[in-house]
């Protein structure tokens, strides 16, 4: 089964290209123009065992990060195909020094988002605003049509909290995408 996908999304605001292999080893080439998000998406690829190339450019930080979330979510949804045999659910509890993140996901075909990253809303993290990071997870969950419950339980450093959250999401996806049977994992027969 081939679980590779490539999508280009171009609007008057941004141009985003995402290319991925869900059955990869975590190789990546990522440049969306913002160093902190490059760092987060690189470790997302590595910890999710997803080969991931992303190139993005555009007018405003908010637009670029939002549109990367949209395109990455769409690309994962397409690559999952009919979801036959996948584990469907995934969860992870990931520390990053003093911070702890908890994630639980369901590739159920519907968006739900519970997000509590406990970030300082007034501050940027490196070159990215906290509201843009929160918006990324919203766009991603909506377009991957998934339930995403992502919370930082505690921590004091906003870089660590965000990094723990991205790693917890990646480890959850790694579990949820794994092929464990030859059935659609739903009593409805469709996901
Ligand atoms: Mn870091």
Cα 164 to ligand 1 centre (Å): 9
Q: What is the pLDDT of residue 122?
A: 87
Residue 47 located in a structural domain: yes
Cα 39 to ligand 1 centre (Å): 7
Cα 136 to ligand 1 centre (Å): 18
Q: Which domain holds residue 45?
A: 4-176
pLDDT digits (tens, 9 = 90+) for 116-135: 999 999 889 999 999 999 99
| CATH (domain of 144) | 3.30.230.40
C-alpha distances in angstroms, 39 versus 10, 46, 107, 160, 181? 23, 11, 25, 12, 34
**Cβ–Cβ < 8 Å for 105, 176:** yes
CA 39 to chain centre: 13
**Cβ–Cβ < 8 Å for 75, 20:** yes
Structurally, the chain folds into a number of domains equal to 1
Residue 186 located in a structural domain: no
pLDDT band for position 38 (50/70/90)? very high
pLDDT band for position 1 (50/70/90)? confident
Residue 190 located in a structural domain: no
pLDDT band for position 27 (50/70/90)? very high
- The shares of helix, strand and coil residues in the chain, as percent rounded to the nearest 5, are 35, 30, 30
C-alpha distances in angstroms, 100 versus 34, 133, 150, 155, 166? 24, 17, 11, 6, 11
**Percent of the chain scoring above 70 in pLDDT:** 100
Residue 181 located in a structural domain: no
pLDDT digits (tens, 9 = 90+) for 54-103: 999 999 999 999 999 999 999 999 999 999 999 999 999 999 999 999 99
Cα 179 to ligand 1 centre (Å): 30
Residue 191 located in a structural domain: no
Neighbours of 33 (CB within 10 A): 16
What does the alpha-carbon distance between residue 5 and residue 16 come to, in Å, rounded to a whole number?
A: 14
Q: What is the pLDDT of residue 147?
A: 98
Residue 21 located in a structural domain: yes
């Amino acid at each position: 089964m081939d679980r590779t996908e490539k999508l280009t999304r171009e609007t008057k605001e941004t141009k985003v290209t995402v290319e991925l292999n869900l059955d990869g080893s975590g190789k990546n080439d990522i440049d969306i123009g913002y160093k902190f998000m490059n760092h987060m998406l690189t470790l997302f690829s590595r910890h999710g065992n997803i080969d991931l190339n992303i190139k993005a450019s555009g007018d405003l930080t908010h637009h670029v990060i939002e549109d990367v979330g949209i395109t990455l979510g769409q690309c994962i949804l397409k690559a999952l195909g009919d979801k036959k045999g996948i584990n469907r659910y995934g969860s992870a509890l990931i520390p990053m020094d003093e911070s702890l993140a908890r994630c639980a996901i369901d590739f159920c075909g519907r968006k739900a988002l519970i997000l509590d990253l406990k970030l300082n809303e007034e501050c940027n993290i490196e070159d990215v605003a906290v509201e843009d990071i929160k918006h990324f997870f919203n766009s991603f969950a909506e377009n991957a049509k998934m339930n995403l419950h992502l919370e930082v339980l505690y921590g004091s450093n906003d870089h660590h909290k965000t990094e723990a959250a991205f790693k917890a999401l990646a480890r959850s996806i790694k579990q949820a995408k794994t092929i464990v049977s030859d059935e659609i994992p739903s009593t409805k027969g469709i996901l």
